[in-house]
Structure 1
Amino acid sequence: MTSSSLLVGSVRRGSLVVHLLAAVVLAVATHRPPPARGLDAPPTEFSAARADEHLRWVAAEPRPVGSARLRQVREELLARLTALGVTPEVQQTQVVRADGPGQATAATVSNVLARLPGTDSSRAILVAGHYDSVPTGPGAADNGAAVAAMLETLRALRAGPPLAQDVLFLFTDAEEVGLLGAEAFREHPLFKNVTVALNFEARGSGGPSILFETSTPDGWLVQRFLETAPHPIGNSLASAIYHYLPNDTDLTVFRRAGRAVMNFAFIDGFLDYHTRRDSLETLDRGSLQHHGENMLALVRVLANEPLPPADKDTAAIFFNPVGSVMFRYPQTWALPFALLLAVAEVLVLSAAVRARRVRLGNVALAAGLMLGTGVVAVALTSGVWLALRALTGLEAFPHHHAHQATLFLAGLGLLTLALFGLSWRIGASRLQEEERVLGARWPWLLLTLASAGLLPGGSYLFAWLLLLTAPLAWTWAKASRDTWGGWLLRVACGGGALLIATSTFYPLATALGLTLVGVAVLPAVLLFGLLQPAFSWLAQARWRPFAAGSGLAGAVLLLLGSVHVGASTEHPWPDGLAFWQDEDQHKAYWLADARVDGEWPLKLLGDAPGSRRFQEALPWVDEELLHHEVPPLALEAPRVRRDSERQDGEVRELTLHLEPPPGAALLQVKLAAPVQVLGATVWGRPVPAEALVPGAEGFSLDLWQVPPEGVPLTLRLRGTNPGSLRIGAVSLELPTLPDGLKRPPQLMPAPYGYGFTDTTVVTKTETL
C-alpha cells in the first residue's frame, strides 16, 4: 500500500470519527429550549420577559404548605388574575385520602381557579400548575415557572379572539405533600366539564419543556402538539416508562379520573431540584419560554376543536431524532414494523449461512457474547460510580447525582466502550468478523420484538436503530472496504443511529441520575454492537489499543469529575438536621443524617454523637441518625381536647379536638396496636375504608394545614385496652440558631422529600 493510500485512509478514518462525534454533539446541543422572548414580543404571543415579572414575586422566597408566605402568594395571585380581567375563586375545602393499610392523609387546601369563558361553556380545557413550593428552596422552577407561564398565557389569550371552549387555569395547593390540591379539584363542579388537562412541572432548573406523559389513546393530542407547538420535544418512550414508575404529579389524579392529559416538565440541572438553588438566578428563562409556548399553542388549538371519541383515536409513537424535529406514527405499526425487520434479519442470516460465510452456532455465540458484555458493563459502571460516590463523599447527595454529571456520564460511557472493544478482541480469536457483526444484531432484534409487544411507545428506539444500521451489516463486504463509498455508508448509517440514540439516551440519563445510569448502559453496549462495522474499520483489527484508549480517556474524565467535587457557595452540599422535643420524657435531641460530615454539624451534635433510628419522631426516615441530647426549648406542643365519649359494648366512640402550635404545617396522629380502629372522621369526612385495614404499626393520620382553631377527629375503636394517642407537631424549619451556629454558605438544607431536612418535631402522648 502506498503512502498516499495510507494518508487517504487515515483522512477517511479521522473524518468518520469527527462525523460520529458531531452526531452526538448535535443531538445534545439541540436538546435545549428556545431563546427567551423579550417585552417587545407581540401581545398575542408568549414572552418570557413578561412572565418573569410574575415569577419574581412568586419565587422571592420559599412558600411551603402551611406557611404565611404561601398565603401571601395566594392573595397576590388573586389580585393579578383580577387585573388580567377574570374573576378568580378560591376553592377551600378538605381532603381525606387513604395511603395504604393503617395510613391516611387529610388536609385543608386552597386552590386558586380562574375561568376564561368560551363561546361554549359546556366543555373546558384545564391548565394546571401548583403554586406551593418545598421549604428548602424558593421554587423558581418548581413550580414558579408554571405559575408565571399560566399568567402570561392567560394575558395572551385575552389579547386574541375568543375561544370555543372554556379554559380553566388551576393553581393547585399542597402538591408537594401528596397532590392534595388536585384531589380536591376532582370535587369541584367545573371538573365534570374538563375534556383535556395540561400540567406543567419541573425537576431541575433548565432544559427544554418535554412532553413526558400522555393518556391513551393520544394520537390526536400528539398530532396537534406536533403541528402547533413552535418547538415540540418529547417521546413516547418516556410516557410509556413513566406509567410504570412510582412518581406522580397532579396530572396523575386527572388521568386516573379518565381525562385526556398531557404532562410537561424540564429536567436539566437536577441537583438544583428542591434546594435553595431552585432560584431566580439559576432558572433558565428559555425553559420558561418553552413552557409558555407549549401551553399557549396547545390551549388555542384544543379549545377550538372537539376531542375525537376514544374509539376513533389511536395511540401514537413519537420522538425527536434531533432537536425539535418530531416524528409520529400510530402504535399499531410497531409490531408489523418489528416483524418485517425480523423477517429481513432472518433472510440475511440464512443467505450468509447458505453461502458458508458464517456458521449459525458462531452467530449465536456472538449474540451471547454481546449480551454478556452488556451485563458486565452494567455491573462495571454501577460499581465504579458507587465507588466514586464513596471516595469523593458524593453519597451525601440524596439525588444520587453530581454537579459534574456530564464528565461522569462521558467517562462511564467511554469505560463501556472500552469493555466493548475488549470483548470484541476476545471474540476475534474464535469468531469471524461477519459472524460477530450479524450476531450482535440479534439481541437488539429481540429487544425490538419485545418492546413492540410489551412497550410499543418505546419500540421506535430499537426498531429505527436496527433499520438504520442494517446497511452496515447486510452489505458487509461493501461496508468493510476502505473506500469513499464505504466511508459514506458508515457516516450515514452510524451518524443517523447516533442522532436518534443520543436524543433518547441523553434526556433518559438526565432523568434517571447517575446511580441508575446502568439502566441505559445495557442498550448502549448493544448499540455499540450495531455500530461494530464502523468501529471495526476504525480500529483496523487493533481492538486492544482501541479498548485501552477508550478506557484511558474514560478514566481521565472520571478523574476530572472527581477532582472538581467539593462544597462551595456556588455548588453547596446538602446536610440534614432536625430537632425533636419529647414532651412526655422532657427531653430534646438534635438529629443529623449519618452521611453528613464536617465541622458544622458537630457544633450541634458534639464530638461523639450517638446513632440510632428515630421513627417515633421522624417515621418517614428509615436510616439510623446521629443524635445528641440537649435541654428542651420553650416550644409549644400540640393540644388535645376530649369533647365526647360513648361506649357500646366493646366499641368506643371518641370525639377529640386537635390544635396545632403556631408554625406547625403538619400534625401526625398515631394510634398504636392492639387497639383496632373501626372508623374515623376528620373535618366531618370519613376516612376511607382502605386506611382502616390494620397496619403493621397501628393507625396513623397526617393532617396538613390545620387551621389555628384546630380540627375535630372522631374515632370508633374496638378493644378494652385504653390505648394511647401519639401526636406530633411538625414545623418545616429549625429553631432559631445563634449566629455562631448558623449554616455556612457552602452547605444547604438537604432537598425536601429525600430523607429529612430542617424539621422541628414536638411530640406528646394522650391516654385514650
Structure 2
Amino acid sequence: MNRGSRSLRESLARYGPAAAACAAAAYAGTSLTSPRPRPASAPQEQFSAERAMRHVRAVAAEPHPVGSRAAARVRDYLLAELKDLGFETEVQEAVASHDLGPTPYGPRYLTGGVVRNVIGRLPGSIPGHAVALMTHYDSVSQGPGASDAGVPVAALLEAARALRTDGVQPVNDLLVVFTDGEEAGLLGARAFFDRHPLAKTVGAAFNFEARGTEGPVLMFEAGPGNGPMLEELARTGVPVFASSLFDAIYRRMPNATDFALVKERGIPGLNFAHIGGFAAYHGPLDDIDHVEPSALQHQGELALALARRLGSADLAELTGEDAVFFPAGRGKLIRVPGRAVVPLAVAAGLLGAGGLGHALRKGGLTGRRLAGTSALLLGRIAAGAAAGTAFTAAMGKLAPEFRRHGDFHGSGDIYAAVAGLACAAVLAGPGDAPAAAARTAAATLPLAAASAALASGLPGGSYLTTWPLAGAGLGLRLLDSAQPTGTGRVPSVRHAVGAAAAAAPAAALLVPLSRLLFKGLTPRLAGTAVVALQLCGELAAPALAGLPRRTRRAAAAGGLLLAGGVAARRFLRRGKGAPPPETISYLLDPVHSTALWISSDESASERTRAFLGEQPEKGRLPEHFPGWQRDFLHAPAPRLDLPAPEVTVLEDGAGEAGRRRLLLHLRSPRGARQLSLAVVGAGVRRWRVEDGPWSEPSPAEDDSWELWLHAVPDPGIRVELELPSSGTRLRVLDRIDGLPQELAAAPGTDPATGIPEHISPAAALDVDTWGNASLVVRTVHLPAQEGPA
C-alpha cells in the first residue's frame, strides 16, 4: 500500500465516522421541505399554487367567522366555484352542538349554533361510495384566516379543477366538504356526519388544516386500521412527512379538528396540516402576505394525488392493521406493521444488551465507570434541557407574541441557538475514545427503558428508540473502547464502522424529530428538542472522538457564541417587530347600571391605558364570568344605552329522575352572532339546542356550567336544560366583535374588526378567543321549583 492510500485510509478511519454522523444529521434535518410552488403556466392537469392563490385572496379578504356577513360572501363564492367545475352543490343548514371538554380557563367548552356547510358532489360511475376531501371555510374573528383555512380551501378547489382535466369518470363519488363553524367547536363537521345522508356514503376522508402559515405539510393523524391507507399515501409520489408518534401524541392532547368526527365514525382517513409560523395563528397576521406558496402547493398535491388514487379504489379494502410509520430521507415513508413493534423492540433490546455486555467483558468498560458515566449523562441532558428552556423563556420576554403563542415571529434563529446549546453540552463531555464508548454504553440504558415503555404503552413512538438502540448495540460490539486517543494511533476500520453505526440511526431519526418537537410543541417546550439532540450527540460520541480536541472545543464554543449572537440580535431588535397583541373589551350590565373596560393582558400598555387608566384593578369577575379561573384587568367605563340579551322561559316542567326541565328562548336585540348562557348554583345534567339531540348525561353536574351559542339567528334560539329543582341563577351574555363605535378611541376603528386601529388584537387562543369585543350581560334568578309542574 502506498503512502497516499494509507493516508486516505487513516483519514477515513479517523474522520469518517464524524463525517457520516454529520452528513446523516444534515440530510435528515434539511429533508423537511415542501415541493416548489408551480406557476400558473404549469400543465392544466397539475396543481399550481399560483393558480390557487386567487382563491386564497377571495376567501381571506376579511375575517369571516361563522354567522357573519363575510362568511355568507365566502359561502357564495365556494358554491359558484364548485358549480363551475361541474359539481352538484348544496348548502346544508343545520343546528349542531358539541362538548369539547375542559378549557384552560375553567368551564367545559360547550358549544352550539347554526351552521351552513357547502357540499359539492362529483358522481362516480357506481354510486354509494365516496371519497371526501374536507376543510372548513370559517375563520376566527381576530384575523382573515388566509392560512387557516384559506390555504386548504384553495388547495381543494384547485385540486378539484386539476382532477376534472382527467376526463375520466371515477368509480367512487368525490365529495368536497367545506364545513362551517369549525372554529366554534367543530359544529359543521358534527352537523354533516350526524345529519347529512351523504355522510353514510363516505368510505375514505382526508381533512386539510393549518396551524400556522408556513412549513411542510405533516400527516399528523390517521384513522383506524391505518396500514392500507398509509400504503396509498406512500404511493402518491408526493413528499410525505408523517409519524405515528404525532398521531399518538395528538390523541392525548386537548385539540381537535373536523377529523375527530371522521375517527368517531370509524372511517379510514388522514389528517394533514402545516404548522410553521404558529405565532401568526388565529390572529391578524394570518393574512395573504404571510401565506407560504410552497405550503399551499404541498397541500394541493396531496389532495389531488389521493383523490386520483382512491377515485377508483375499493374503499372497503382501506382498513386493516395499524402501522408504525415515520419519514426517511426526503419525503419517503417507512411503514412497519403494528404486530412487529414488540418483536423489533425485543430484538433491539437484545442487540443493546449484547453490545453493553461486550463492552463490559472485553471493551475495558467497568460497572463503576458505567454508573458514573450514566450519572454525568443525565446531568448533561438535564442541564441542556434547562438551558434551552431558559433561553427561549428569556427571548420570550423580548417578544410580545410569545406570551400567548409560546412561539416567535421567525423562530428559526431561536432553534439554531438551542441547537448550539445542545451541541455545546454534548461536546463539553469527555471526548477520548474510552470515555466516548462509555457515553454510548450509558445512553443504551435509558434507550432500553424507553423502548420497552413505548413498545407496550405508546407503540406509535417506539421507532424513535428501537432503531437508535439497535445501532448503539451494534456499535458497542464493534468499538475498541480501550483504544486511547492522543497517541497517534489510527482507529481500526472495525472501530470506525462501530462509531458510525452507533451515530447514524439516531442522527437520521432524532435530528428531524428535534425540529418537529420545537415547532409542534412550540419553543416554550424547547427542552424536548434539546433532549433529542443531546441523546443523538451521546450516541455519536465515539464518532466525534476521532476529531482533534481543539476542533471539538471550537465547535462547543461556536454553539455558545451562536446562542449569544442570537440573544444579542433579539435584544437589539426588541420592539421593532410586529406590534404587541392586546385585548380590550367593553362589558355592560344594564340591569345593575355597571360598565367595565376589561382586558386579559398581564398589564396595561400605553395603548390600553387609554381605556383602563393608569391603575386598573386586577382579579376575577365571577358575576359576569362564573367559573372562569382567570384574572382580568378592569376599570370603570361609560354606561351606554345598549339593550341586554332577552331570556324567555317557554317551559318550566318536570324532567327525568325528578329533575327540572327548562326550555329557554334566548335573543340578542343587538343582533349579536354569539350568546353565552351560564347556569350558576345548579348542575346541568344534560342539554340540547333547538330540536337537536340531547347531550350525554353529565356525571359531574358542575356548579358552573356554560354554553356558547354561535351564528344566532335574529329571531333567537332555544336551549333546553335538565337540572335540579333548586333555585338557580342564569347569566346570559351577548358578544359583538370590536368595541361600540361611540367608545372606539382615535384615530378610528378598523371596519373589518371593529377594533381601534392602534390596538393589535390578540390571537383567538384561550380566553382571548372572546376578547376585543362588546359584551352585554343579563342575570335572571329562577326560584326553586315547588311541587310537580
TM-score of the aligned structures, taking structure 2 as reference length: 0.87
Shift of 1:82: 1.4
Instruction: Report if the CA contact (8 A) 1:575-1:749 is conserved.
Output: yes
Look up the match of 1:142: 148
Instruction: Report if the CA contact (8 A) 2:683-2:702 is conserved.
Output: no
Q: Give the distance between the partners of 1:236 and 1:704, measured in 2 at CA.
A: 35
Shift of 1:628: 1.8
Deviations 1:562-599 (A, max 9, x none): 4333343xx33211222111122212211223335531
Q: What letter corresponds to residue 629 of structure 1 in structure 2?
A: P
Shift of 1:634: 3.6
Q: Give the distance between the partners of 1:527 and 1:596, measured in 2 at CA.
A: 42
Instruction: Report if the CA contact (8 A) 1:668-1:727 is conserved.
Output: yes
Matched, 1:290 2:298: yes
Q: What letter corresponds to residue 565 of structure 1 in structure 2?
A: R
Aligned-residue sequence identity (percent) comes to 31
Matches for 1:279-678 after TM superposition, within 5 Å: 279-308=287-316, 313-355=320-362, 357-390=364-397, 392=398, 394=400, 397-424=403-430, 432-468=435-471, 472-477=475-480, 482=490, 494=503, 497-538=506-547, 540=549, 550-568=559-577, 571-596=578-603, 598-618=605-625, 622-645=629-652, 654-673=662-681, 675=682, 677=684
In structure 1, list runs of 5 or more residues that go unmatched.
none
Residues 121 and 670 (structure 1), Cα distance of their counterparts in 2 relative to 1, 3 Å cut: same
Residues 356 and 279 (structure 1), Cα distance of their counterparts in 2 relative to 1, 3 Å cut: closer
Instruction: Report if the CA contact (8 A) 2:477-2:498 is conserved.
Output: no
Deviations 1:617-658 (A, max 9, x none): 456863322222111224332122344555899876554322
Matched, 1:233 2:244: no
Instruction: Report if the CA contact (8 A) 2:426-2:537 is conserved.
Output: yes
Residues 98 and 599 (structure 1), Cα distance of their counterparts in 2 relative to 1, 3 Å cut: closer
Q: Give the distance between the partners of 2:264 and 2:378, measured in 1 at CA.
A: 38
Which deviates more, 557-566 or 243-252? Answer: 557-566
Q: Give the distance between the partners of 1:152 and 1:533, measured in 2 at CA.
A: 51
Look up the match of 1:178: 185
Q: Give the distance between the partners of 1:517 and 1:398, measured in 2 at CA.
A: 16
Residues 359 and 677 (structure 1), Cα distance of their counterparts in 2 relative to 1, 3 Å cut: closer
Instruction: Report if the CA contact (8 A) 1:397-1:573 is conserved.
Output: no
Q: Give the distance between the partners of 2:496 and 2:436, measured in 1 at CA.
A: 18
Shift of 1:691: 4.4
Instruction: Report if the CA contact (8 A) 1:441-1:529 is conserved.
Output: no
Residues 341 and 541 (structure 1), Cα distance of their counterparts in 2 relative to 1, 3 Å cut: farther
Matched, 1:34 2:39: no
Look up the match of 2:785: none
Residues 159 and 435 (structure 1), Cα distance of their counterparts in 2 relative to 1, 3 Å cut: closer
Shift of 1:671: 2.3
Shift of 1:98: 4.0
2:135 pairs with 129, 133, 140, which one? 129
Q: Give the distance between the partners of 1:617 and 1:132, measured in 2 at CA.
A: 28
Q: Give the distance between the partners of 1:588 and 1:580, measured in 2 at CA.
A: 6
Shift of 1:110: 0.8
Shift of 1:549: 5.2
Q: Give the distance between the partners of 2:492 and 2:573, measured in 1 at CA.
A: 43
Instruction: Report if the CA contact (8 A) 1:88-1:115 is conserved.
Output: yes
Q: Give the distance between the partners of 1:676 and 1:305, measured in 2 at CA.
A: 50
Deviations 1:48-91 (A, max 9, x none): 22222222111111101221100111122112211211221111
Which deviates more, 629-638 or 540-549? Answer: 540-549
Shift of 1:526: 2.0
Instruction: Report if the CA contact (8 A) 2:737-2:774 is conserved.
Output: yes
The 3-state SS of whatever aligns with 1:320 is strand
The 3-state SS of whatever aligns with 2:315 is coil
Q: What letter corresponds to residue 160 of structure 2 in structure 1?
A: L
Residues 289 and 677 (structure 1), Cα distance of their counterparts in 2 relative to 1, 3 Å cut: closer
Matched, 1:732 2:737: yes
Q: What letter corresponds to residue 452 of structure 2 in structure 1?
A: L
Q: Give the distance between the partners of 1:644 and 1:31, measured in 2 at CA.
A: 59
TM-score of the aligned structures, taking structure 1 as reference length: 0.90
Shift of 1:176: 0.5
Instruction: Report if the CA contact (8 A) 2:673-2:736 is conserved.
Output: yes
Instruction: Report if the CA contact (8 A) 1:100-1:690 is conserved.
Output: no
Shift of 1:108: 1.0
Shift of 1:233: 2.2
Matched, 1:256 2:261: no
Instruction: Report if the CA contact (8 A) 2:679-2:729 is conserved.
Output: yes
1:759 pairs with 758, 773, 781, which one? 773
Instruction: Report if the CA contact (8 A) 2:86-2:122 is conserved.
Output: no
Which deviates more, 539-548 or 656-665? Answer: 539-548
Residues 330 and 589 (structure 1), Cα distance of their counterparts in 2 relative to 1, 3 Å cut: same
Residues 580 and 389 (structure 1), Cα distance of their counterparts in 2 relative to 1, 3 Å cut: same
Shift of 1:26: 3.7
Which deviates more, 475-484 or 218-227? Answer: 475-484
Instruction: Report if the CA contact (8 A) 2:236-2:306 is conserved.
Output: yes
The 3-state SS of whatever aligns with 1:590 is strand
Deviations 1:228-265 (A, max 9, x none): 14222222221122111111100011101211120000
Instruction: Report if the CA contact (8 A) 1:321-1:503 is conserved.
Output: no
Q: What letter corresponds to residue 751 of structure 1 in structure 2?
A: A
Superposition RMSD on alpha carbons, in Å? 3.4
Residues 680 and 219 (structure 1), Cα distance of their counterparts in 2 relative to 1, 3 Å cut: closer
Matches for 1:690-729 after TM superposition, within 5 Å: 690-691=697-698, 693-697=700-704, 699-715=705-721, 718-719=724-725, 721=727, 723-729=728-734
The 3-state SS of whatever aligns with 1:656 is strand
Q: Give the distance between the partners of 1:29 and 1:396, measured in 2 at CA.
A: 26
Shift of 1:693: 5.0
Look up the match of 1:66: 67
Q: What letter corresponds to residue 40 of structure 2 in structure 1?
A: L
Shift of 1:35: 1.3
The 3-state SS of whatever aligns with 1:409 is helix
Residues 666 and 159 (structure 1), Cα distance of their counterparts in 2 relative to 1, 3 Å cut: same
Q: Give the distance between the partners of 2:678 and 2:588, measured in 1 at CA.
A: 17
The 3-state SS of whatever aligns with 1:374 is helix
Deviations 1:690-722 (A, max 9, x none): 24852132x43222111001123345554363x
Shift of 1:30: 3.2
In structure 2, list runs of 5 or more residues that go unmatched.
750-754, 783-789
Q: What letter corresponds to residue 459 of structure 1 in structure 2?
A: S
Q: What letter corresponds to residue 27 of structure 1 in structure 2?
A: A
Look up the match of 1:106: 112
Look up the match of 2:121: 115
Shift of 1:205: 0.8
Q: Give the distance between the partners of 1:700 and 1:162, measured in 2 at CA.
A: 49
Q: Give the distance between the partners of 1:418 and 1:367, measured in 2 at CA.
A: 18
The 3-state SS of whatever aligns with 2:404 is coil
**May I ask how many residue pairs the two structures share in their alignment?**
756
Deviations 1:163-222 (A, max 9, x none): 111111111010001111111111211111111110000011111111111123211111
1:158 pairs with 155, 164, 180, which one? 164
Instruction: Report if the CA contact (8 A) 1:424-1:543 is conserved.
Output: no
Shift of 1:468: 4.2
Deviations 1:390-446 (A, max 9, x none): 4x2547530011124222222223223333444548xx89x8554333223222232
Q: What letter corresponds to residue 130 of structure 1 in structure 2?
A: H
Q: Give the distance between the partners of 1:329 and 1:676, measured in 2 at CA.
A: 48
Q: Give the distance between the partners of 1:603 and 1:447, measured in 2 at CA.
A: 54
